[in-house]
């Protein structure tokens, strides 16, 4: 079965239940896949991928959404867990205990833990923490103070948030808010062999490299990524070192091995930073599988997390996530479209033959 992305996106916008079962909507930034009619907030178009089956979405490292339950709507165990997820989302600002949840789901805490994990992929506690972290970040972006955001997100005290934020935020909450406020970002849009490329940088290094079809779409996406930053478009002639960075990136799009690694200024978790470092060590013209990358960073069972790190890479090309493919030689996914991934790999292969 082939997929018409335009039509699928249309169905998602209409939340068309008649399309349920015909295709699956994957959201690469949250790592979740949905039915077309899912009642959750609509994702951004650029973060969405369409699949013919849940299995295909799972191969890309995505988990089923518990709200719309794309796996099997009539499995009662799944339905119960789905109701619990909705409950957790609604009550993440309050205290939610395993006992509460077990009671609501008619399960012992032990069975709850197991069933929940097998359906959702994480424990109820982790799910709750993820909901809180999501709401916490939203509050900060909406301009709330750190203290307000902590309480509204349901963290009992600030120390509990700080304990957790290391892994998921990559920086202390206050820095996340203040840093984004003060951040000055310059960007340029440049035509390359793989289409329009946006390159954005702070004073410290490159913070975004994205491909897109129009300058407007690229700019919108940058503003969504850094809502509080001061963002300015710049035009040629570019000042150094921006000119050099842009020239290096353009050469790499055409297949060249970089002469030096560009300085990066991206805010990612320690895990993702490790994955990106590993990707930068793959020479142009070569590929690795997701599981090889996972093994190389000493986390052989983290293949899915590696796939997600690739799917949410903020800096195309300079972190060459296009060099990661499936073990069976399939292309795997690419945040900026599979055609671009193929183009980049072909360009590198051609450059090697010269």
Q: Is the peptide bond before 147 cis (omega within 30 degrees of 0)?
A: no
HSE-up of residue 194 (Cα within 13 Å, Cβ side):
29
Residue 66 binds to Zn ion (criterion: CB under 5 A): no
Judged by CB under 5 A, the residue of 11, 27, 38, 324 near Zn ion is: 38
Residue 208 binds to Zn ion (criterion: CB under 5 A): no
Say whether 38 is catalytic: no
Number of other residues whose CB lies within 10 A of the CB of residue 173: 20
Shorter beta-carbon distance to Zn ion: residue 15 or 67: 67
Q: 324 is written with which tokens?
A: 């990661």
Minimum distance from residue 38 beta carbon to Zn ion (Å):
3
Shorter beta-carbon distance to Zn ion: residue 34 or 253: 34
Shorter beta-carbon distance to Zn ion: residue 33 or 176: 33
Number of other residues whose CB lies within 10 A of the CB of residue 272: 22
Minimum distance from residue 185 beta carbon to Zn ion (Å):
32
Residue 67 binds to Zn ion (criterion: CB under 5 A): yes
Residue 120 binds to Zn ion (criterion: CB under 5 A): no
Number of residues that bind Zn ion (CB under 5 A): 6
DSSP code per residue over 51-94:
ESSHHHHHHTT-EE-TTT-SS-TT-HHHHHHHHHHHHHHHHTTS
Say whether 68 is catalytic: no
Active-site residue, from 8, 34, 65, 69: 34
Residue 119 binds to Zn ion (criterion: CB under 5 A): no
Minimum distance from residue 305 beta carbon to Zn ion (Å):
21
Minimum distance from residue 226 beta carbon to Zn ion (Å):
27
Residue 68 binds to Zn ion (criterion: CB under 5 A): yes
Residue 65 binds to Zn ion (criterion: CB under 5 A): yes
Residue 34 binds to Zn ion (criterion: CB under 5 A): yes
In the sheet with 24-27, reading across from the earlier edge strand, the strands are 48-51, 24-27, 32-34, 63-64
**Pair 236, 179: CB distance under 8 Å:** no
Tell me which stretch binds Zn ion (CB under 5 A): 38-46, 90-98, 192-200, 268-276.
Answer: 38-46
Torsion, Cα of 347, 351, 353, 354 (10° steps): 140
Minimum distance from residue 72 beta carbon to Zn ion (Å):
14
Number of other residues whose CB lies within 10 A of the CB of residue 213: 10
Active-site residue, from 8, 131, 207, 321: 321
Angle at 76 between CA 121 and CA 25, to 5 degrees: 50
Q: Catalytic residues, which ones? A: 34, 321
Name the site residues for Zn ion (rule: CB under 5 A): 34, 38, 40, 65, 67-68
């Amino acid at each position: 079965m082939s997929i018409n992305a335009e039509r699928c996106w249309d169905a998602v916008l209409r939340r068309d239940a008649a399309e349920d079962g015909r295709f699956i909507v994957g959201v690469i930034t949250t790592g979740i896949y949905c039915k077309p009619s899912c009642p959750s907030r609509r994702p951004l178009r650029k973060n969405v991928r369409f699949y013919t089956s849940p299995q295909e979405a799972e191969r890309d490292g995505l988990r089923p959404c518990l709200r719309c339950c794309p796996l099997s709507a009539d499995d009662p165990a799944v339905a119960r867990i789905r109701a619990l997820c909705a409950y957790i989302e609604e009550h993440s600002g309050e205290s939610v205990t395993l006992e509460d949840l077990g009671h609501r789901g008619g399960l012992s805490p032990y069975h709850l833990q197991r069933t929940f994990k097998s359906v959702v992929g994480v424990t109820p506690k982790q799910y709750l923490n993820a909901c809180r972290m999501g709401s916490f970040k939203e509050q900060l972006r909406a301009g709330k103070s750190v203290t307000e955001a902590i309480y509204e997100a349901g963290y009992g005290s600030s120390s509990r948030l700080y304990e957790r934020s290391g892994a998921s935020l990559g920086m202390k909450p206050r820095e996340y808010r203040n840093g984004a406020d003060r951040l000055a970002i310059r960007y340029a849009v440049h035509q390359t062999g793989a289409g329009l490329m946006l390159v954005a940088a702070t004073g410290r290094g490159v913070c975004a490299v994205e491909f897109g079809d129009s300058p407007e779409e690229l700019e919108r996406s940058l503003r969504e990524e850094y809502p509080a930053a001061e963002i300015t478009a710049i035009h040629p002639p570019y000042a150094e070192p921006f000119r050099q960075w842009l020239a290096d990136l353009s050469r790499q799009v055409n297949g060249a091995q970089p002469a030096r690694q560009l300085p990066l200024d991206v805010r990612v978790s320690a895990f993702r930073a490790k994955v990106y470092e590993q990707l930068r060590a793959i020479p142009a013209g070569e590929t690795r599988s997701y599981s090889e990358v996972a093994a190389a960073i000493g986390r052989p069972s983290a293949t899915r997390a590696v796939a997600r790190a690739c799917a949410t890479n903020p800096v195309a090309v300079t972190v060459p996530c296009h060099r990661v493919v499936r073990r069976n030689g399939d292309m795997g996914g690419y945040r900026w479209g599979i055609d671009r991934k193929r183009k980049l790999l072909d360009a590198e292969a051609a450059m090697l033959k010269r």
